[in-house]
Chains A and B, each alone.
Chain A
Amino acid sequence: MSATQDLRLGQEPEPWLESGHTYASVTDKISSAVLTRPVGIGWLAGFALAFSVVMMLFVAIAWLITKGVGIWGINIPIGWGFAIVNFVWWIGIGHAGTLISAILYLLNQKWRTSINRFAEAMTLFAVACAGLFPLIHTGRPWMAYYMFPYPSTMGIWPQFRSPLIWDVFAVSTYGTVSLLFWYVGLLPDLATLRDRAKTKWQQMIFGMLSMGWRGSARHWKRYQSAYLLLAGLATPLVLSVHTVVSFDFAVGIVPGWHTTIFPPYFVAGAIYSGFAMVLTLAIPMRAAYGMQDFITLRHLEQMAKVMLATGLIVAYGYFVEFFMAFYSGNKFDVFLANQRLHGPYSHFYFALILCNILTPQLLWFRKVRRNIAALFVMSLVINTGMWLERFVIVVISLTRDFMPSAWGRYSATVWDYATLVGTLGLFTMLIFLFVRGLPAIAISEMRELVHQESHGDGGHE
């Protein structure tokens, strides 16, 4: 796989790991961020800020539970609003983590090694933020267990023909499998931390978490077998999750939702926003923890390429939506397409085109892909664009359905914004805790990479 990675002839491909690293040096470097590095003022300040935003989230949720969903901007005909926009956005962000850890593993892409661990953590935290929204959107979150099939005294059961119930199963399976995958990957690294722990508490905590892992050849064999199988299982799973999320829309007959392009274009959009979020996290993290040797410029460039490719699929999705609206001749679809361009929310639509289609075209240029500041800004732009996409889908269709008498307008309230910003704070806080509490890069896989690079062979067969 060496030559195909780098098409510039006559040039050696850059390594995935800066030279001079040994098994011990990668282990020291990554584990010291957890075990010995003192808590810095930057970390404390960031954590404190994120924590205070989480407190705001708690206030918003407490007020929601006290007063009901009327504190949000939703009202018939717009019953979904920010809650569903944010749900779809967050769950999409999670997809890149699974893509990196599972699909790139199956494809033997060595560049996944230094980013898979925190991308998986990002998935878990994003799924946690996503799951919050449908839960509180029910209005009575303490009755959310009604959605699961259980033998109730009322004798009622969920409606399994409904995409909303499929969603419950898809998201909860996705969360569970992501957690299992993450934990299995962590197991050898927890043993490393246990062996290197300096204090009694560290030894006890990592000792319990590592379950007595001792790295015997038989253990590794079963471990690798399980890891490969999990990767194989997570691959169709991640494609199914956003497909099922898109069914929430596509199975309905609302104009603008009822299209067959939705599943592939939702999945591509999910990966698009997810990679943008990985960049948003990786760029500050590699600077703050001096991980530039492990997360190299070539890694960032590779992620930029994936964003460009998935961004083009998303652009194709937008095009097909328009094309099919006019080609079908269905007057409601044609009307809705016109509403996106000329309706009261058209500025959202044009902002979306700017963020998701026009700006990322800069990624065709190698100079831009290798400019860290440009990539960071672009990752924020793309994440904004993907949020706008979900807003356009949810709000424009719901405010303009079949009968003009049923039309409406939607504007979010301060509580909508407090909840959205609050989940950003929750996500950030969990990431801050993660980089200090667990190895943010897979140590045992990095040792394997050192082994492979020192033997000059490209990837294991």
Chain B
Amino acid sequence: MSSEKRSQLFGVMGEFSTPEDLLAATKKAREAGYKHVEAYTPFPIEGLAEAEGFKWTAVPLLTLIGGIGGGLSGFGLQYWVAAITYPLNIGGRPLNSWPAFIPVTFELTVLGASIFAVVGMLALNKLPQPYHPVFNVDRFGQASTDKFFLCIEARDPKFELAETSKFLQSLHAEHVNEVKDEE
């Protein structure tokens, strides 16, 4: 139906006015057997990701790894500098004066964990990603203001354009739009 030859269907998107409607619709879509559903909202809504079947995120694990890595390399650096490569005998005190190394170890633990948390979050979200098919929907600009969107993606085995559009309408979506992906 599209005039552009090389565009293909990414999915169907329904628009809702309240977070409660969206959450209910997401649950119903999952119950109806759709697997590739994604909701888009202007602020985080409790339980929405879980309703989509997305329960576990690797961000905390990455943060832990970053923190441990930062701490170990921080202490290792100081030990190597103070005890191995540049030993300074000051009043016969031990070269590995570890209590004095704690502040820098702590700071680098926090630094490593924070960088891993942020970069990990962006990478798992596949950002930066300037183009995404959902941006082709005109009304999608409202997703960052006051509208709530639910997209059922075409790669879902149960997806069928007419059927799925009707399904979204039955959930009281205010507007139902096709989402085109321009190759």
Residues on A lying within 8 angstroms of B by beta carbon are 22-24, 27, 149, 155-161, 163, 165-166, 169-170, 173, 176-177, 180-181, 183-184, 188, 191-192, 194-196, 207-208, 211-226, 229-230, 233-234, 236-237, 240, 244, 247, 444-445, 447-448, 451, 460
Contact = CB atoms under 8 A, between A and B. Distances in A.
Given A160-B82, A176-B114, A212-B129, A195 B145 contact: yes
Nearest to B26: A217
Contact of A217 (B48, B111, B122): B48
Contacts of B122: 211
B21 interface: no
B56 to A, nearest CB: 9
Given A195-B144, A221-B57, A214 B132 contact: yes
A64 B54 CA distance: 58
A445 B43 contact: yes
Contacts, number: 191
Contacts of B141: 195-196
B40 A214 contact: yes
Contacts of B85: 155, 157
Interface in B71-120: 77-78, 81-82, 85-86, 88, 90, 97, 100-101, 103-104, 106-108, 110-111, 113-115, 117-118, 120
Contacts of A451: 19, 43
A23 B146 contact: yes
Contact of B104 (A22, A160, A234, A448): A160
Contacts of A149: 77, 81
A448 B78 CA distance: 45
A215 B134 CA distance: 11
B125 A217 contact: no
B41 to A, nearest CB: 5
| Among B63, B101, B131, B146: residue with most chain A CB under 10 A | B146
Majority DSSP secondary structure for residues of A touching B: helix
Nearest to B41: A215
Contacts of B100: 160-161
Given A160-B82, A226-B117, A229-B117, A173 B108 contact: yes
B54 A217 contact: yes
B44 interface: yes
A223 B123 CA distance: 11
Contacts of B42: 23, 27, 188, 192, 215, 444, 447
B107 A221 contact: no
Contacts of A181: 114
B145 A196 contact: yes
Given A160-B81, A169-B103, A177-B111, A184 B118 contact: yes
B103 to A, nearest CB: 4
Interface in B22-48: 26, 38-46, 48
B127 interface: yes
Interface residue tally of chain B, by bracket?
Answer: 35 or more
B78 to A, nearest CB: 4
B76 to A, nearest CB: 11
A177 B110 contact: yes
B127 A213 contact: yes
B120 A220 contact: no
B126 to A, nearest CB: 9
A244 B146 CA distance: 45
B52 interface: yes
Contact of A180 (B49, B101, B107, B118): B118
Given A24-B146, A212-B130, A230-B117, 16 more contacts: A158-B81, A160-B100, A161-B100, A166-B107, A173-B108, A173-B110, A180-B114, A188-B43, A212-B132, A223-B44, A226-B120, A233-B67, A234-B114, A240-B107, A240-B110, A444-B43
What are the 6 closest A-B residue pairs judged by CB atoms, nearest first? A23-B146, A211-B128, A226-B121, A221-B49, A220-B44, A166-B103
22 contacts: A23-B145, A149-B77, A159-B88, A160-B101, A161-B100, A173-B110, A211-B130, A212-B129, A213-B127, A214-B132, A215-B41, A215-B42, A215-B144, A216-B40, A217-B26, A218-B38, A222-B124, A225-B57, A244-B103, A444-B43, A447-B42, A451-B19
